[in-house]
Each structure stands twice: as C-alpha cells, then as structure tokens.
Amino acid sequence: MTGRIIVAITGASGAQYGIAALLALREQPGIETHLVLTRAARATISAEADMSVEQVRDLADVVHSDNDLGSAIASGSFRTDGMLVAPCSVKTLSGIANCYDDTLVVRAADVVLKERRRLVLLVRETPLHATHLRLMTEVTTAGAVVMPPVPAFYTRPASVDDIVTHTVGRALDLFGIDIAGLRRWTGDRGHSPTPTPIRAVES
Ligand SMILES: Cc1cc2nc3c(=O)[nH]c(=O)nc-3n(C[C@H](O)[C@H](O)[C@H](O)COP(=O)(O)O)c2cc1C
C-alpha cells in the first residue's frame, strides 16, 4: 500500500460523492489524496454543492489540473493504490473504455488499469441505453469496478447525507478503507421497527 488515492470528480450529477470521499479520506491516517476536477465538475459543484470549487480543492493533499498530462499521476511509475471517480459521467466512462487519454482524469484511470490497480467508477446516468451498458462492460473487462451510486435502504437513511455517506463508504471498502460509522447489514432484522409501507394494499 502506498497510501495514495486519486479522487476524480467529473460533471455527472452528484459532486457530493467526490466531496464526501475527500472528507472521509482526510480522516484516514496515512492517506494522501490526489484530486482532479474536470471543467464540467466545476459547474456541477457550483450548481449542487454547499462548497465552492476552492473549498473542494482544499480538501485534497494534492490537486492536479485536468489539462496537465505531465502530472505525476499520468505515469505508472508514480505509485498509487488506485483511483475513485465519483461521480463518473458517461463522457468520462467512454474516454476510459476507449483509452482516449486526452485529459488527466482519463489518462490517470488508464494508468491505474494498466498497472492493475483499483479503479472504481461511480457511473451516474439513468436510464441507460445499450452503448452505456457496453462501455460499462468494457471497463469491467479491463479491470475497473463499476459502482453506480444506488442507495441502500436497509440502513434506513434519514437524509441525503446518509445516502451519500453510505455509498462512499461502500466505494472506499473496495480500497480496503473502512470509514468510521458506516452502517453495515449485520443480519439482525430485529434491531429496527417494521418499515411503514408506502401505501396500504387494498383488499
Ligand atoms: C447539472 C448537470 C448535471 C449533469 N448530470 C449528468 C449525469 O448525471 N451523468 C452524465 O453522464 N452527465 C451529466 N451531465 C453532463 C456532463 O456534465 C457532460 O457530459 C460533460 O461533458 C462531462 O464532462 P466530464 O466527464 O469531463 O466531466 C450533467 C451536466 C449538468 C450541467
């Protein structure tokens, strides 16, 4: 383990996932985060997040420009434990699937795959057509983990933050990182009250 994790935030809806990942990784001793924001991510951060782009950049240990193809993370000789793309747009998914390495996010993801390191893509789009599904199959074949940010309800989330935190915790599980307070299913079905049905079934 190098303790280095690359976090990319792209222009799909859900910049909060990348922000939550950076916040969680800050609490992990010995982890150095390398952040790349795409141009579109700057727009979604402004539209969706309670933080400015500058505040998001300040959460990372090292920030790389998406235009800087000479950056350390563009080379396999710079050792990392892998890369989390949260959220991952269809455009970036397509770039990674096709090794179209003209941005740092796509190049760094390609490097992570070629070095057989962990790549986790929180692909966010819905509904999906056949080409989206084909691209996901291709990156999976190349070694990536496609993890659409789909909420779990067994944790009984009370807020959007709960949903985001749980998804990010499960994504970081894939790097062997255990974040504090992640609610896990224990098999104990008696610990919470019977769920209220959304609507009564009429007889
Ligand atoms: C508010 C907003 C929400 C968007 N949501 C999505 C989305 O959920 N998934 C997606 O693939 N693209 C989404 N897009 C479009 C991407 O931002 C666009 O395709 C962009 O070129 C992606 O570039 P990037 O991958 O370099 O960040 C959204 C755009 C805006 C402005």
Give the tens place of pLDDT for each residue, 15-24: 999 999 999 9
pLDDT value, residue 188: 80
For 80, how many CA atoms within 13 A lie in the half-sphere containing its CB? Answer: 30
Instruction: Give the Cα separation of 44 and 48 in Å (integer).
Output: 6
- Contact call for residues 5 and 18 (beta carbons, < 8 A): no
Instruction: Give the Cα separation of 141 and 132 in Å (integer).
Output: 14
How far away, in angstroms, is 12 Cα from ligand 1 center? 4
Class level of CATH domain 4-173: alpha beta
Ligand 1 pocket check for 43: Cβ under 6 Å: yes
Residue with tokens 């979604």: 44
Residue with tokens 């240990």: 61
Ligand 1 pocket check for 125: Cβ under 6 Å: yes
Instruction: Give the Cα separation of 91 and 8 in Å (integer).
Output: 13
Residues 6+ apart with CB under 8 A from 25: 5, 7, 31, 33, 172, 177
pLDDT, average across residues 64-81: 98
- Contact call for residues 9 and 56 (beta carbons, < 8 A): yes
Whether 39 shows a pLDDT value over 70: the answer reads yes
pLDDT value, residue 196: 45
DSSP classification of residue 31:
-
Tokens coding 63: 């920030």
* Closest by CA position to 171, among listed 9, 46, 1: 9
How far away, in angstroms, is 97 Cα from ligand 1 center? 17
Average pLDDT, the chain: 94
Whether 98 shows a pLDDT value over 50: the answer reads yes
Q: What length is written for the chain?
A: 203
pLDDT band at 27 (very low <50, low <70, confident <90, very high): very high
Nearest ligand 1 atom, CA 93: 25
pLDDT value, residue 180: 87
* Closest by CA position to 180, among listed 2, 33, 26, 56: 26
Ligand 1 pocket check for 33: Cβ under 6 Å: no
Instruction: Give the Cα separation of 91 and 58 in Å (integer).
Output: 26
Mind giving me the DSSP string for 149-168? -PPPSTT---SHHHHHHHHH
Whether 102 shows a pLDDT value over 70: the answer reads yes
pLDDT value, residue 192: 53
Per-residue model confidence as pLDDT tens digits over 147-199: 999 999 999 999 999 999 999 999 999 999 999 889 899 898 765 544 444 55
How far away, in angstroms, is 43 Cα from ligand 1 center? 9
